[in-house]
Every structure is written in C-alpha cells, then in structure tokens.
Amino acid sequence: MKTGRGRCFISHWYKDPARDLCLRRRLPGGLEPFIFPPIEASPDVAVSDRLMDAIQACEALVYLDTKESLATFWVGFERNYAARLGKPIYAFQPGRRWFAIKRDKHPPMDPVTSVMFNLEVEEDLRSIQSIRQEIWERHRFDFRGVDWRRLDNEPRQILDSIEDMSTKIANGGIVLLFLSNASICARYHDYADPFAYQRAKKDFETPIGLTARKFAAIPIDRMQVVWLDEPDRPRIETALARFDPEVWGEYLRVIRAAIDEPRKCVARQRSGTPNRNALDDVLVRTFWLARKADPVLAADFRARLVERPREPQRAWRASKKGLSERVGSQ
C-alpha cells in the first residue's frame, strides 16, 4: 500500500487483536489507515528506512494503547518518532466505547547520548558536522555535549567531560563513538571536552593523556559505533600494534570491540555521500540500546501514554548547573 497525503500510520503489535477494532473506527480527520509490513528482525540486527519514510509520509499516527502493543519496541519508537516530527498523535483505547481515539500531546522522549570522536582529524570533523545536519533535517534529532554553546559554537563542544559522560551512562545514556581509519591511525588522539582542553592549554599540557581514562568509562554494551568510512582491518591492526597496552589498554579494548562487531554501521558511502540507511540505523539502534539500559525510557515506551503520567525527569538533569533544558532532548 502506498503512503501519502490522507493516510494515518497505525502503530501496533501485529498480533494485537485490538488492531481490527481500531480499523473499524473512523480515524481523525477521516484519514485512511496505513499498515506497515511486519519487521521480522530485531532493532539491533536490522532496520528498514522505509519505516521512517512511511511515518514521514503519513499525516498522523494512531497507536494501540494496549499492554500488548506498548510492550514492543517498535510501537514506542514509532510513536516517539512521529512526535519528534511534529505529527498529530492519537491513542486508540479499545476498552472505551465512546471516544476511543484520544489525542496524545506528550512530547517525544529521546535517548541520552554522549558523543566521542578524535578531534585531530579535520576530515572527520567535517563529516560529523554533515552527519549531524543530515540527522537533524531528516529526523529532528540532535546530539551534543552538555556544555554546548557555553564557550563558542565549535566542534569540541559536542564532546562531554569524563564526569558528564559517566553520569549520562549511569542514567541509561549511550555513547556514540565516531571512528575512521584516519582517526585510529592518527599520530595524536584528542578526545578532550572544552574545559579539559582549556585547562590543558593553560598548564601547557596536551589533551592526549585523557584518552585512556575516557575510553575506560565506556561500557561495550552501551556503545554505538559509527564508522565514517569502511574500516580497513589490516591498516588498523598495524596501527594498534604500535600502542603500548600498558598505557592504551582501555582504548585498545574499545577499538577491538568496534572492529570485531559483525554488523558495522558505515555512515558514508565510498563516494563520500551520506548513507541514509546507515544513519537511520544509528537512530534506531541508539533507541534500542537506550531502551534496554534506561528504565525511565523503557517505562515511557511501555506506559499507557494517555492515562498514566510519565516518569519524572532524571534528577541529575535538573541538578546540572546552567542546564535549562533536558539533556535527552539533544
């Protein structure tokens, strides 16, 4: 079935008996229902960019407000994604005889992310800025450090301090690690946040010493690796052999886990243009990892969104001096 103007995306678990009840109801604005084909694989294995295209093409979204549908990842993701795009959202409550389809105006709730990349590689900086813009324009999702715009609008501010990154991880956050052949093989490694970098400059130090400590704070199961180019394993192995494991052991642990990942996310094609499927994959897999790690986000996905109030925001966000907005809405 072709999506387009005049259609409403029906978000549901495919075995939920309430779907047929929903389809017999008149949808808001007289929209026609659109049923997306079942996605067989789990989000950590595969994602179809056609799903996001379908939600974007539809005028509204109705999700089944049942424990069966709300227990699934995809319904929570689809509802949140439509809300992020500014689509009208409605909940279908099959237990209600009258007014079973109710407007849901809850805002989207996004994963907390902490970004890492080697600032020594200028080409990577340009690629990451381009990727950030692409993801924002397509999905209205942004990622940045908690100190964004505290100093001036420069790429370094995308990075968090070790303490802020650890706090995010402790509260269900996901690390987005951007890698490239050049970043691993570079002579220098700079993962310093703005304030650490300023302190290092003041004391005539280099930011390189922070790398091992920062990588030590990354749990492998909370890491989403985004390759900026297709990894060249022989070249990378040659570079890694030059690292002193006594000093760089934690860095080597993370990089080896990244190159051993069987299904890699490569954000750019050989031509240099963004790989849209891979960028969609980044967003979905980040949500998937966060839902498993973050009890607040998981509860939000499972909750009966209209009848039950959302979980309170994480207390650490409110306690961050100078933060006026929720870090998760990056």
Coil/strand/helix, residue 189: coil
Asked whether the CA dihedral 71, 51, 133, 44 is positive or negative, the reply is: positive
Domain extent for 73: 7-103
303 belongs to a structural domain: no
The answer to whether residues 197 and 257 belong to one domain is yes
The answer to whether residues 122 and 148 belong to one domain is yes
The answer to whether residues 38 and 186 belong to one domain is no
Residue 233 binned pLDDT confidence (cut-offs 50, 70, 90): very high
Query: pLDDT > 70: what percent of the chain?
Result: 78
Cα gap 279→236, rounded to integer Å: 23
* pLDDT confidence of residue 308: 44
The answer to whether residues 157 and 88 belong to one domain is no
- 314 has pLDDT over 60: no
Number of domains comprising the chain = 2
DSSP single-letter state for residue 312: P
256 belongs to a structural domain: yes
Higher pLDDT among residues 30 and 296, named by residue: 30
Which of 72, 103, 134 marks a domain boundary?
A: 103
Task: Output b/e per residue, 44-81; b: 16+ Cβ within 10 A.
Answer: eeebbeebbebbeebbbbbbbbbeebbebbbbbbbbbb
* pLDDT confidence of residue 255: 95
